[in-house]
A and B are shown apart, each in its own frame.
Chain A
């Protein structure tokens, strides 16, 4: 069952690059697990370690000592492009990230993030420019992201509203299990199935004839 989430206050890790893809977030060789263990270590692995396995000098973004414990990312356009691997949001959550600001997110990543109560917050290019300037001027300022109020409070005293899929917001605020939600509409599913017979039978003809 998902845990409910409504608000976080944290300093920000800026990674001002566009098109950060899922192979950067969680390289494929870490997808051989059959559970969700150890994914915090996989996050941005190849940015953080050389091919020989040594930690890079200087340390990469999330490994910079002052970024320890920070829960908010500020990133460039089209974040999370590439694969459907939910390991990417799992890795971000395992590291402790709760909210990500960008001008856009890849569709599959965005959906996966919301299912893990990781907030992808889309801002306009103008807002993005203002936020990057703010982080540059005040790198240790704390931001508050409030999903209930759909509001971000900035360290300069200003605030702005954001949008998140209304349904996803309700699910996250209440910690609702989406599968339970859908199964509670089982009669509608059964009615649709009666009107739309299965188009294939993957178990073969014998099974179809049963």
Chain B
């Protein structure tokens, strides 16, 4: 009998092209996702060496980071963004890479379109010049972000030089309470282990609370693995995974589907396999989470208080002090009730249809708070179309929110959607770093339910205090 192996080890073993003593393994890559921001210099490098793209049929590109989310018929006024967007189109044309660009009904955030097109599948190695590539691990693939030098490597060779990562089991037991979702699990994990807690490791999320999550919730969870320091995060494929994938455009069809499912069933971690580290989280006890600081590990339960530097360990003290100074928040005050200027609902973390349904379930029939700017940005054009067919776009507009074209938008603030200096934003995105959502902007990270509840009040609001949230929460969980 073979040695019991984890999900990650199985995928790793299956993709090692060669391994020489002292050198990293050459790892075969099944799918390479490309976007406009981190790829231009890689294509320049490719041209300089006179190379072609080795596997254009295993490569796919879109435009998401610097693309405006306003009316697509308007000209792009930012000269640099315009040039960058023209460049990706030109690079894809020259090298034969399929491009889901401006005007395409399948354009969207790279980590939203991969899964919705059925390109993201269990057991695959998936890379992209973007740290949130971890999202695709929700399907039980090894998916991680790479730099531009590595993009050039994958374009030229369809392989990467990699050292085998260590494994880190994150076991979430029990059942999530109404109003609590995948975003709260991952924020709670990072608050516990710290933003560097997973460095050198890959997370595998296990336990009944994880198995109960929908595919979209699993994507939210895996998406922020990098915020806990892990390059990748995976959930073992199961019936939920197969049901999501079946019939999607690029998923296997007919007999190939049955064969694929049969092979995918062999992927989950064997009984008796061991992880390098394990942490257990009690899912029953989780509450909605909100960050107060300037890294995603600086988060508290929404019923909690902003910590006081005086109570922190000496190592954390200075960092909390600096964070509170930047955020302009008072140590010891309640996180709920903090005043907001902007609410942003979207991103590769929480810009999928279930996220929008959850937000709409709270906002339907209500109006956003006076003076508050609320931006709802679907993760892809397909998500936008689906939301509109369900009347969600109308719900948001009627509530006084801005309903936009798809893109990364205010998560990374490259396209004109941004916080102004000093503004407070509550965001369903993934990073609250200083200036991340616009220079001088101040970010609270939270779930779509918390964002929607806060949009109605203009202050950080516990979604469990809003009527009807139990229904919304259960819709999010299933």
Q: Tell whether A pairs with B.
A: yes
Please, how many angstroms separate the alpha-carbon atoms of A81 and B319 in the complex?
15
Q: Tell me if B412 is interfacial: C-beta within 8 Å of chain A.
A: yes
Q: Tell me if B282 is interfacial: C-beta within 8 Å of chain A.
A: no
Provided the pairs A32-B78, A51-B439 are in contact, do residues A198 and B57 lie with their beta carbons within 8 angstroms? yes
Assess the B199–A104 pair: CB atoms within 8 A: yes
> Contact partner of B150 among A106, A111, A208, CB < 8 A?
A111
> Contact partner of A198 among B55, B66, B159, B195, CB < 8 A?
B55
Please, how many angstroms separate the alpha-carbon atoms of A100 and B355 in the complex?
40
Provided the pairs A107-B200, A108-B147 are in contact, do residues A178 and B153 lie with their beta carbons within 8 angstroms? yes
Q: Tell me if A85 is interfacial: C-beta within 8 Å of chain B.
A: yes
Tell me if B's interface is mostly helix, strand, loop or mixed. Answer: loop
Please, how many angstroms separate the alpha-carbon atoms of A84 and B134 in the complex?
12
**How far in angstroms is the closest Cβ of chain B from A114?**
9
Q: Tell me if B30 is interfacial: C-beta within 8 Å of chain A.
A: yes
Chain B contacts for A21, CB-based, 8 A:
295, 431, 433
Q: Tell me if B304 is interfacial: C-beta within 8 Å of chain A.
A: no
Assess the A85–B56 pair: CB atoms within 8 A: no
Q: Tell me if A54 is interfacial: C-beta within 8 Å of chain B.
A: no
Assess the B147–A32 pair: CB atoms within 8 A: no
Tally of contact residues, B, Cβ under 8 A = 84
Assess the A115–B150 pair: CB atoms within 8 A: yes
Q: Tell me if B131 is interfacial: C-beta within 8 Å of chain A.
A: yes
Please, how many angstroms separate the alpha-carbon atoms of A84 and B158 in the complex?
19
C-beta contact mask, A57-97 vs B, less than 8 Å → 1, else 0?
00000000000000000000110011111100100000000
Chain B contacts for A200, CB-based, 8 A:
30-31, 57-58, 119, 121, 124, 250
Provided the pairs A85-B38, A189-B158, A200-B119 are in contact, do residues A116 and B431 lie with their beta carbons within 8 angstroms? no
Give the segment of B18-26, B172-180, B212-220, B368-376 that binds chain A: B18-26
A-B contacts besides A112-B147, A179-B157, 20 pairs, CB < 8 Å: A33-B84, A84-B129, A84-B133, A85-B38, A107-B230, A108-B131, A108-B144, A178-B153, A179-B156, A182-B26, A182-B156, A182-B159, A185-B18, A189-B26, A189-B158, A192-B28, A196-B14, A199-B124, A200-B58, A203-B98
Give A residues with C-beta under 8 Å from B. 17-19, 21, 23-24, 27-29, 31-36, 46, 51, 77-78, 81-86, 89, 104-108, 111-112, 115-116, 165-167, 178-179, 181-183, 185, 188-189, 192-193, 196, 198-204, 207-208
A-B contact pairs, 29 of them (CB 8 A): A17-B318, A24-B433, A24-B435, A28-B412, A32-B80, A78-B199, A81-B196, A82-B433, A83-B145, A84-B133, A84-B146, A86-B149, A108-B147, A108-B226, A111-B147, A112-B150, A167-B22, A181-B161, A189-B157, A193-B28, A196-B28, A198-B30, A200-B119, A200-B121, A202-B56, A202-B57, A202-B60, A202-B119, A203-B96
Give B residues with C-beta under 8 Å from A. 14-15, 17-18, 22-24, 26, 28, 30-31, 37-38, 40-41, 44, 49, 51, 55-60, 65-66, 78, 80-81, 83-84, 87, 96-98, 119, 121, 123-124, 129-131, 133, 144-150, 152-153, 156-159, 161, 163, 194-196, 199-200, 226, 229-231, 250, 295, 315, 318-319, 322, 412-414, 421, 431, 433-436, 439-440
